[in-house]
Amino acid sequence: METGHIISKDGSRIGYKKTGTGDALIIVHGGGRMAGDYERLAMALADMYTVYTYDRRGRGDSDAITEDHCIERECDDLISLIKATGAEKVFGHSMGAIIALEASCRVYINNIALYEPPVQINNSVPTGFMDSFNRAVHNKQYERAMAISLKGLQMHEAARLPVWLLVIIIKLMRAWKPGKGKDWKRRMAQTLPTMQTDMAVINTLNNSYGKYKKIRSLALLMGGSKSPAYLLQPLDLLKSLMPYARVQLFPGYYHVAPEEQYMEIADTLKQFFK
């Protein structure tokens, strides 16, 4: 992968990774993630597209999140990359799907594919866990913070387990990757605090979904059948609002499908984008 950067509207530096040949396609990563988490998906798309995965603010080679951070900053970054690359295709996962939606209200994007955007409908996205999550992050208890968020967001069947057991499992998973300890800690120190910012942005968008009816992009709304209802409910809502949208549900998939079932997701994206 090649690396590079663009300068966003407010002068912030946004780093990206680039691979493949063909029409430009941008991947917008989800919350608690970085561009590198979508490397396998990008490589699976690289035979047909020039794929750009960029680090949202506060991560990787991109500038830090500022106190005035809001959805406008997120949209500015994506739109700046669209202008720099000429991309007409965007895939967004989770929070990245929200950013793609919001950017599509500001500029025309020909094709958007969205995997489970957490559209806030009457405060449907759970936030009650955030106080304990923030305390764990502040105390650098990263395994505990991960366990709390997994339990709070209910995005995987492992969320049925108690937090203390999830902490043990996460520690064991780390132990299976010797030599990765420092990298893991550095990554968690970067990505976990950004979840607070993402949740705050989602809350500011509560019940603001009516504006999405003006989106004229061809849109693929994707979801996994095993994901929680608050992530699946927005798919039908968006389909009813957006005139050129269709829904595709993947049986047996969870919220993390773009990272774990990346080949199947890539094949679906290729069919849609072409």
d(CA 213, CA 80): 23
Query: Do 19 and 38 have their domain in common?
Result: yes
pLDDT of residue 236: 97
Query: Do 32 and 111 have their domain in common?
Result: yes
At which of 154, 169, 203 does a domain end?
A: 203
Q: What is the pLDDT of residues 116-148, one digit of tens each?
A: 999 999 999 999 999 999 999 999 999 999 999
pLDDT of residue 181: 57
Query: Do 119 and 138 have their domain in common?
Result: no
Query: Do 168 and 214 have their domain in common?
Result: no
pLDDT of residue 177: 63
Query: Do 184 and 216 have their domain in common?
Result: no
**For residue 30, what is the DSSP state?**
-
**Which CATH number is 239's domain given?**
3.40.50.1820
d(CA 47, CA 25): 12
pLDDT of residue 15: 98
Query: Do 232 and 269 have their domain in common?
Result: yes
Asked if 26 contacts 85 with a C-beta cutoff of 8 angstroms, the reply is yes
Q: Region of 178 please: left (phi>0), alpha (psi -120 to 50) or beta.
A: beta
Query: Do 116 and 195 have their domain in common?
Result: no
Query: Do 54 and 93 have their domain in common?
Result: yes
Query: Do 27 and 117 have their domain in common?
Result: yes
Give the strand pairing for 23-28 and 49-54: parallel
pLDDT of residue 186: 84
Domain of 151, in residue numbers: 130-203
At which of 151, 175, 203 does a domain end?
A: 203
Query: Do 247 and 118 have their domain in common?
Result: yes
Q: What is the pLDDT of residues 229-248, one digit of tens each?
A: 999 999 999 999 999 999 99
Q: What is the pLDDT of residues 79-100, one digit of tens each?
A: 999 999 999 999 999 999 999 9
In whole angstroms, how far apart are CA 201 and each of 28, 82, 95, 119, 159? 16, 22, 9, 11, 24
Q: Which residues of the chain have pLDDT under 70?
A: 177-182
Query: Do 198 and 211 have their domain in common?
Result: no
At which of 168, 203, 238 does a domain end?
A: 203
| Number of domains forming the structure of the chain | 2
pLDDT of residue 78: 98
Consecutive H or E run containing 79? helix 71-85
